[in-house]
């Protein structure tokens, strides 16, 4: 599997003031980059999120805010240079939505919240066959994963005339979508267990200064 390069920090680039000694400065730069790669671009939110005094290594709110703003600028420049880069996982989720499966990426903060909030995404535009999601902590793990692994929560919305054959059709539709996007998966087909996908790419788009999103990530893993 070719390595996914679109989350890499440019070589030799740091963000935090040199007043903070190593290894603390490098650790904080890594935290900031992971934050930005997830598609986050609000420096004030990062300062609020990164509130552990020991992890901060005496960095002030102002220093963290400035470092985060610099990282966002670097990420935007990366994305302008790449043009449109769409991850294979995003392509698969888009296809699933077209098939009538609620598919949400980087959705909610954790599995407990995602499992509850996913139902609020369902509207009356059609009969939704089921749902699929991975949450923000899964995104963090995916970004750090060497083989592009992510765990997916899922479930079905039975029709009034639901039967076993109808239920079996949902996994088949999801399986086809994943293979069309060059994904690999490990699945017991048990609703009580998450599906594990591998060879997945992620590239969170930083918001542009005028408030519009930068180009969504396109294509499959290079």
Q: How many domains does the chain have?
A: 2
What is the pLDDT at residue 185?
53
132: helix, coil or strand?
A: strand
**For residue 11, what are the CA distances in angstroms to 7, 8, 71, 97, 111?**
12, 8, 13, 37, 34
Domain boundary (33, 64, 82) is at: 82
What is the pLDDT at residue 84?
81
- Expressed as residue numbers, the domain containing 44 is 24-82
Q: Are residues 95 and 180 in the same domain?
A: yes
Task: Supply angle C-alpha 129, 127, 218, rounded to 5.
Answer: 65
Q: Are residues 99 and 174 in the same domain?
A: yes
62: helix, coil or strand?
A: helix
Instruction: Return per-residue pLDDT of the chain as tens, 222 residues.
Output: 467 788 899 999 999 999 999 999 999 999 999 999 988 999 999 999 999 999 999 999 999 999 999 999 999 999 999 888 778 888 899 999 999 999 999 999 999 999 999 999 999 999 999 999 999 999 988 888 878 888 899 988 887 776 666 656 666 555 555 545 555 555 545 554 556 665 566 666 555 444 434 333 333 332
Q: Are residues 50 and 78 in the same domain?
A: yes
Helix 88-98 vs helix 164-180: crossing angle, to nearest 10:
140
What is the pLDDT at residue 208?
47
In a domain, 185, yes or no: yes
What is the pLDDT at residue 53?
94
Q: Are residues 29 and 47 in the same domain?
A: yes
In a domain, 54, yes or no: yes
One-character DSSP codes across 84-113: ----HHHHHHHHHHHTTEEEESS-SSSHHH
What is the pLDDT at residue 164?
67
In a domain, 210, yes or no: no
Strand partners, 185: 197
What is the pLDDT at residue 120?
97
15: helix, coil or strand?
A: coil
Q: Are 37 and 6 within 8 A, CB to CB?
A: no
Q: Are 16 and 61 within 8 A, CB to CB?
A: no
What is the pLDDT at residue 177?
52
Domain boundary (47, 82, 117) is at: 82
């Amino acid at each position: 599997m070719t390595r996914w390069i679109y989350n890499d920090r440019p070589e030799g680039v740091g963000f935090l003031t040199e007043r903070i000694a190593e290894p603390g400065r490098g650790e904080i730069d890594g935290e900031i980059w992971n934050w930005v790669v997830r598609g986050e671009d609000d420096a004030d939110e990062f300062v609020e999120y990164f509130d552990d005094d020991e992890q901060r290594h005496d960095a002030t709110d102002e220093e963290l805010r400035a470092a985060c703003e610099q990282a966002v600028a670097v990420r935007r420049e990366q994305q302008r240079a790449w043009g449109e880069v769409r991850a294979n996982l995003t392509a698969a989720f888009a296809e699933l939505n077209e098939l009538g499966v609620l598919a949400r990426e980087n959705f909610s903060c954790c599995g407990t919240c995602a499992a509850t909030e996913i139902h609020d995404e369902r509207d009356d535009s059609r009969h939704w066959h089921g749902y699929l999601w991975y949450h923000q902590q899964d995104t963090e793990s995916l970004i750090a994963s060497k083989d592009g692994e992510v765990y997916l929560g899922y479930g079905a919305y039975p029709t009034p005339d639901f039967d076993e054959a109808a239920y079996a059709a949902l996994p088949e539709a999801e399986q086809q979508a994943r293979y069309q996007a060059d994904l690999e998966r490990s699945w017991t087909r048990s609703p009580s267990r998450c599906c594990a996908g591998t060879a997945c790419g992620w590239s969170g788009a930083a918001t542009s200064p005028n408030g519009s999103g930068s180009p969504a990530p396109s294509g499959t893993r290079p």
